[in-house]
Structure 1
Amino acid sequence: MNTETTPRGTMILGLGNPILGDDGIGCSVADFIGDRLATGSGVTVLSTSVSLIRLVDEISGHHRLIIIDSITTGQAEPGELMEIEFRKRNTLPISAHHYSIEQLQDIGDALGLSMPEYVKIYGIEIIRPEVYEDCLSPALEGLLPEFAEEIINREFLSNCMAEGYNTTPRGECAV
């Protein structure tokens, strides 16, 4: 169990199942962002397809959590990047097998873990995958750099500029 009391910075959590084609877009974007950010930037990148309950220990100890996942709303064009509002509230699990991000926060709090103060969720609209394939569709593969840059700009560069820092081409805050 993670018992650190000093926040570890930002965790970027890419979710999805890479063997279901575009469902793996969250993992691919997180990995792309990890490759873009400088070593020592205080950012941890984790791409996974495991149940969220298994991630409580990984998430704890981070000050910020940025989640990237595929979504199928049917109300947006495939490839549209959306911010999904996170509202912390006490919730009961619908099932012992499926937990929401809100429930993970509650579980971590109940265990006395230091859970992220800031949570941002990004969803990328996909067409529901109907076949097994271990790669993204060409359309989404081509949008990886755009998704990564947009999230880096929103989450890192805008924060640097708001705090009066300049930024480097690799997405670092420069004093």
Structure 2
Amino acid sequence: MTDKLKAEKKTMVLGIGNIIMGDEGFGLHVIRRLKEIGMPEDIILEEGGVGELNLLNDLQGIDNLVVVDIMMLPLPPGELKVFEPGNPPTEPGKAIISFHQIGVLELINLWTMMGNEEPEVTFVVTRPETIDWGTELSQALKPTVEKAADMIKQLCADYN
């Protein structure tokens, strides 16, 4: 998985979501779990919320970007899917829907159009079970937080 990634470079793990919309907050729950279990100091853990345009400045100097989010993929809720660098989450003929004002792919495109080098982007995503008011994840996604955190911790360790 990591042979395409730049090693010994600056890495950011970016959790995307809305913490008050149930499963929509999955990415933020994963970031908070990573902070609890601890990550190497050279790994930046960022709670991105839903306003990705605000993240443009945060991409400065980032070589490896791991995005944690939910997407309406043809998966059971809570099953993790990893999209490696060079293989963004798109499938011809299928709608891949994110729930934010601007998607991460659009953010990266804007970043490169501004003359910046594109980071190597890995997506770690799952399908939501419910999106409704509340700060709790659904039963399908609660155990997925720990699985995603373990996966991301190993992925980041492989960068170095």
CA separation in 2, counterparts of 1:60 and 1:150? 25
**Structure having greater relative contact order (Cα 8 Å, sep ≥ 6):** 2
Residues 1:83 and 2:82 aligned together: yes
Question: Does the C-alpha gap of structure 1 residues 139 and 103 become closer, same or farther in structure 2, counting only changes over 3 Å?
Answer: closer
Letter in 1 for 2:67: I
Query: Scaled by the length of structure 1, what TM-score is found?
Result: 0.68
Provide the aligned length of Structure 1 versus Structure 2.
142
Determine if the alignment matches structure 1 residue 122 to structure 2 residue 124: yes
Larger radius of gyration: 1
Query: What amino acid does structure 1 have at the position aligned with 2:65?
Result: L
| Structure 2: gaps of 5 or more residues | 1-7, 89-99
Is this contact kept in 2: 1:78–1:126, CA < 8 A? yes
Flag the 1:24–1:86 CA change in 2: closer, same or farther, 3 A.
same
Structure 1 residue runs of 4+, over 6 Å off? none
CA distance, structure 1, for counterparts of residue 128 and residue 150 of structure 2: 19
Shift of 1:12: 0.5
> Hey, what does 1:113 align to over in structure 2?
116
* Percentage of pairs with the same residue: 23
State yes or no: 1:69 paired with 2:69.
yes
- What is the CA deviation profile of residues 21-41 of structure 1, one whole-angstrom value per residue up to 9, with x for unaligned ones? 11111111122123323452x
Amino acid across the alignment from 1:35: E
Give unmatched runs, 5+ long, in structure 1: 1-6, 90-96, 161-175
Task: Name the TM-score, length of structure 2 as normaliser.
Answer: 0.74
